[in-house]
Amino acid sequence: MSANTAVAEKYRNNFLKEIEEQVEMGDWVKMCMQCGVCSGSCPTNFQSAWDHPPQELFMMIRAGKREEVLTSSSMWNCTSCYNCIVRCPRKIPITHIMHGLAEYAHRIGMAPKMQATRFFSGLFWKNATHTGRVNELKLSLGLYFKDGFVQGVKNGMAMQSVALGLVKAGRLNVLELFGGHKCKDQKGIHAMLAKAYEIERVRKAAKMAG
Amino acid sequence: MTEHVATNETILVVGGGISGMTAALEAAETGKNVVLVEKNPALGGRTSQLYRYFPKLCHPTCGLEINLRRLKGNPRVRVLTLAEVSGIEGSTGNYTVSVKVKPRYVNENCTACGECERAVETMVDDPFNYNLGQHKAAFLPNAMAYPQRFVLDPSIIGTPDADKAKAACKYGAIDLDMKEETIEVKAGAVIWATGWQPYDAAKIQPYGYGRYKNVITSVEFERLSDIHGPTGGKILRPSDGKEAKNVAFIQCAGSRDENHLRHCSRICCMASLKQTHYVREKFPDGGKSTIYYIDIRAIDRFEDFYQKVQADPTVTFIKSKVAKVTEDENGNPVCHGVDTEGYKRYTTAHDLVVLAVGMEPSVKGINIPGHIASDSSGFIEADPANGAVFGAGCATNALDVNRAVQSATAAALRAIQVVNKVAKAEA
Ligand SMILES: Cc1cc2nc3c(=O)[nH]c(=O)nc-3n(C[C@H](O)[C@H](O)[C@H](O)COP(=O)(O)OP(=O)(O)OC[C@H]3O[C@@H](n4cnc5c(N)ncnc54)[C@H](O)[C@@H]3O)c2cc1C
Ligand code: SF4
Ligand code: SF4
Ligand code: SF4
Ligand code: SF4
């Protein structure tokens, strides 16, 4: 370690180190110069759901605000529009870091439980890996009923005309609710996923070990 | 064209801006013979296109005038204008340089009486004013031009306008038969002082330069403020000629940006701080400046200059690189972004947006004949592999005038050492 890196190391708090090790592309966070272009370019920043634009999240990481960052819903709101990446003067892969942060918060159980994107992602994953095919009807119903039965019926009613349109166009089959179509080799798919989990686990353990 | 007797004890200086003029004069005043090659029809370079000079806010003409006086008094400097180097051969102490000289169509007899200008009708873009305005096709490049000699724009050659100009000249100064020629110059050392060019602002897509008329560059703002400029020194915005009292400056427009120029252009913070003075001077009541910045880099001893501007109630600083510029229904440019101090979103309309564009070396893209080492931004580096070709001024880095002059003096010293050695070897 050169003298310079040794000095810099002092200022790298534990949380920044954790992000660098655990989060996809996390080692870019320290390159942010807080210019503000990503925040100003982010479409989700128009919405009230957006607590912290990417630039602010990066600053919070450097300030060691672990709890606030990992429980934040901000990174879950990223739409992957890539506006920030194309404009960032430092060419920081912001979109990937946003998803990396969300993934890490989820992995260690700190992500906000009922955050809509996270909830939907979980539902989608379960749905898709179960049969090897996405059952759109079950998926949307699952999402509608996320906030309880009453809200679910309301959501369903609001979407009624869209659903009927889809049925008419042959894009939605009501019979899907009972079983639905699936892949031929479901066992094979499950085995493949188990292997993928295994590889990922080994890789992360190796990374942690340094 | 007069013969140029140059030997390998001669120093060739390429570029007649403040750096090239300084290097040429420093060398000539120690008794060396110098050939100064400038591609424009007049010397002075980019500094002659500024309205005022930081830090003292004096007119650039005074600095230029001193150099021109030194130049007129020194027979050892030969100035070639409308001339560009097209090839260099040889090595340290023994170069042969080809110089392409474009026709001016006006010879030494010109008294700058201006009759030809009155006679000619064709108008052409005026590059001295960054094409914000036009001038006649027979013109003096600028009020301070050296040489004080008119030029005919090549577009009128062969048209009746050229004949009108010739007929109007009482001094037999117009020569329509001049042709482009290439001459050879011998030199022992070469000083490369070709300066900088503003980064092409149209490449910064979200800022709308070229799409929105009221988004201009910092160099254009200098011309709008100058009484010799296209608006006679009034800050009027291009779309409707309205007084631009509420001016936004966007810093690092193209600099410190991996998508554009990697380097900090170093002078543009100072340039914008200086330009807030123009706004206040032109609009003593109601002038307003807003500087959007990442951080203010008032290099070196200029911190006090910055502090004075900070204390000015008509100037607002917003710590944020603007994300994008749009235009509202009144033609006002609107800045969008998030203020880093508090992470609040803003959408603010101004009368005019000035992009503090970065400095790009002019050498980038042009082929310096021979092999010259340059850094990742294209600035010439000091490298033994360059032989006796020495960079000076903004060809070597983004510099203010003070540092450009220092760099030019250093280059002159290196060149003098080379030709001294040649002289000793020949004695
Ligand atoms: C908006 C703005 C405001 C500024 N304000 C200030 C200020 O207030 N104070 C200050 O100290 N500095 C200021 N600067 C910086 C200043 O402009 C530079 O320091 C200065 O121009 C450097 O001079 P130079 O001779 O190195 O280059 P230049 O001025 O660029 O001169 C180079 C010369 O070389 C010629 N040339 C180019 N290529 C060739 C070629 N191939 N062959 C022959 N000739 C060639 C050009 O025509 C030109 O005449 C400002 C810069 C900007 C962008
Ligand atoms: S655009 Fe890039 S450098 Fe600027 S604040 Fe965002 S991440 Fe940081
Ligand atoms: S990619 Fe995500 S973080 Fe980046 S601008 Fe788009 S929504 Fe915002
Ligand atoms: S070219 Fe002739 S007419 Fe034109 S300014 Fe010179 S002397 Fe006067
Ligand atoms: S001097 Fe200022 S405006 Fe220019 S590139 Fe550097 S920080 Fe940006």
Among B338, B358, B378, the domain-final residue is: B358
Q: Which ranges constitute the DSSP H helices of chain A?
A: 3-11, 14-22, 37-41, 54-62, 66-70, 83-87, 94-107, 116-131, 136-144, 149-158, 160-168, 186-209
Q: What is the interface pTM, i.e. ipTM, of the complex? A: 0.87
Is the Cβ–Cβ distance between B280 and B312 less than 8 Å? yes
Q: Is residue A8 part of a domain?
A: yes
Q: Is B352 left (phi over 0), alpha (psi -120 to 50) or beta?
A: beta
The DSSP code sequence of A2-57 is -HHHHHHHHHS-HHHHHHHHHSTTGGGGGG-----HHHHH-GGGGSTT--S-HHHH
Residue B224 has pLDDT above 60, yes or no: yes
**Which pLDDT value is given to residue A46?**
63
Q: What is the mean pLDDT of residues A182-191?
A: 87
- Say how many C-beta atoms besides its own lie within 10 A of residue B366's C-beta: 13
Ligand 1 residue neighbourhood (C-beta within 6 Å): B 14-20, 37-40, 45-47, 50, 53-54, 84-85, 193-196, 218-219, 222, 267, 271, 274, 359, 362, 366, 393-394, 399-402, 404
> Does B321 contact A53 at a Cβ distance shorter than 8 Å?
no
Q: How far apart are CA B350 and CA B326, in angstroms?
A: 11
Considering the domain architecture, whether residues A108 and A123 belong to the same structural domain is answered as no
Is A192 in the B-facing interface, judged by CB distances under 8 Å? no
In this structure, the answer to whether residues A82 and A20 fall within a common structural domain is yes
The domain in which residue A9 lies consists of 3-112
Q: What is the band of B366 on the pLDDT scale with cuts at 50, 70, 90? A: low
Tens-digit pLDDT profile for residues B281-314 = 999 999 999 999 999 999 878 999 999 999 999 9
Looking at the fold, whether A106 and A121 belong to one and the same domain comes out as: no
pLDDT greater than 70 at residue B73: yes
Residue B151 Cβ inside 6 Å of ligand 4? The answer reads no
Question: Is A160 within the bounds of a domain?
Answer: yes
Q: Show the ligand 5 pocket: residues with CB < 6 angstroms.
A: B 251-252, 255-256, 264-266, 268-269, 297, 356, 358
- HEC readout, B224-280: HHCCCCCCCCCCECCCCCCECCEEEEEEEECCCCCCCCCCCCCCHHHHHHHHHHHHH
- Considering the domain architecture, whether residues B366 and B292 belong to the same structural domain is answered as no
- The ligand 3 site (C-beta within 6 Å) comprises A 41-44, 54, 78-84, 94-95, 98
Q: How far is A207 from chain B (nearest CA, A)?
A: 30
Query: In this model, does residue B245 exceed pLDDT 50?
Result: yes
Q: Which residues of A195-207 are buried (b: 16+ CB within 10 A; e: fewer)?
A: eeeeeeeeeeeee
Chain A interface test: which of B265, B297, B340, B346 (most A C-beta within 10 Å): B340
Instruction: Specify if B415 maps to a domain.
Output: yes
> Are B262 and B319 in the same domain?
yes
CATH assignment at residue A49: 1.10.1060
A-chain residue closest to B253, CA distance:
A89
pLDDT of residue A149: 78
| pLDDT exceeds 60 at position A30 | yes
Give the model confidence (pLDDT) of B6-53 as tens digits: 788 999 999 999 999 999 999 999 999 999 999 999 999 999 999 999
Question: Is the model's pLDDT at A3 over the cut of 80?
Answer: no
In one-letter notation, the amino acid at residue B360 is E
CA of B166 to the centre of ligand 4 (A): 8
Distance CA B53, CA B193 (A): 20
How far B256 CA lies from chain A's nearest CA (Å)?
7
d(CA A182, CA A56): 44
Distance CA B186, CA B170 (A): 37
**Which tokens go with A118?**
């996270």
Total count of domains within chain B: 3
The pTM for the full model equals 0.91
Tokens 């800022």 sit on residue: B207
Is there a contact between B126 and B135 (Cβ–Cβ < 8 Å)? Answer: yes
Together in a domain, B185 and B223: no
Size of interface A-B (CB pairs under 8 A): 63
Tell whether B132 and B207 lie within a shared domain.
no
Q: State which of A93, A112, A131 marks the end of a domain.
A: A112
Of B303, B332, B358, which one is at a domain's C-terminal end?
Answer: B358
Q: What's the structural domain count of chain A?
A: 2
Q: Is the pLDDT of residue B333 over 90?
A: yes
Q: Is residue B353 part of a domain?
A: yes
Show Cβ contacts of residue A68 under 8 Å, excluding neighbours closer than 6 positions: A60
- The reply to whether B2 falls in a domain is no
Q: Measure the CA–CA gap between A70 and A110, rounded to whole angstroms.
A: 6
Regarding whether B292 and B310 lie in a shared domain, the answer is: yes
| pLDDT per position as a tens digit, B184-208 | 999 999 999 999 999 999 999 999 9
What is the C-alpha separation between B22 and B93, in angstroms, rounded? 21
Q: What is the pLDDT of residue B199?
A: 96
pLDDT of the residue at B2: 44
DSSP annotation string for B276-327: HHHHHHH-TTT-EEEEEES-----GGGHHHHHHHHT-TTEEEEES---EEEE
Please give the mean pLDDT across all residues of chain B. 94
Residue B107 covered by a domain: no
Residue that finishes a domain, picked among A112, A145, A170? A112
- Do A97 and A7 have their domain in common? yes
Strands B123-125 and B134-136: antiparallel
Same domain (yes/no): B126, B188: no
Query: Are A36 and A55 contacting, i.e. CB atoms less than 8 angstroms apart?
Result: yes
Q: Does residue B333 belong to any structural domain of this protein?
A: yes
pLDDT band at A123 (very low <50, low <70, confident <90, very high): confident
Same domain, A130 and A40: no
Residue B183 has pLDDT above 70, yes or no: yes
A60 lies in the same domain as A98: yes
**A133 and A103 in a common domain:** no
Sign of CA dihedral B235, B238, B243, B246: negative
Chain B residues closer than 8 Å to A43 by CB: none
* CA B325 to each of CA A34, A53, B265: distance values in angstroms, whole numbers, following the listed order: 19, 19, 22
Q: Same domain, yes or no, for A34 and A90?
A: yes
Sign of the CA dihedral with B91 first, then B92, B96, and B98 last: positive
Pair B348, B392 in one domain: no
Give yes or no: residues B24 and B150 share one domain.
no
Question: Any idea what the CATH number is for the domain that residue B354 is in?
Answer: 3.50.50.60
pLDDT, tens digit, 9 for 90 and up, residues A76-103:
999 999 999 999 999 999 999 999 999 9
Nearest to B9 by CA among B306, B308, B418: B418
Residue A9 and residue A102 share a domain: yes
- Domain's final residue, options B324, B358, B392: B358
pLDDT at residue B257 greater than cutoff 80: yes
- What would the two tokens of residue B245 be? 């009292």
Query: A183 and A122 share a domain?
Result: yes
Structural domain contains residue B374? yes
Whether B139 and B16 share a structural domain: no
Range of the domain at B379: 11-102+180-195+362-426
* Alpha carbons B49 and B33: distance in angstroms, whole number: 29
Q: Are residues B185 and B71 in the same domain?
A: yes
Judge whether B376 is closer than 8 Å to chain A, CB to CB.
Answer: no
Q: What is the pLDDT of residue A122?
A: 85
Question: Environment class of residue A110 by beta-carbon count within 10 Å: exposed (0-12), middle (13-18) or buried (19+)?
Answer: middle
Domain assignment present for residue A207? The answer is no
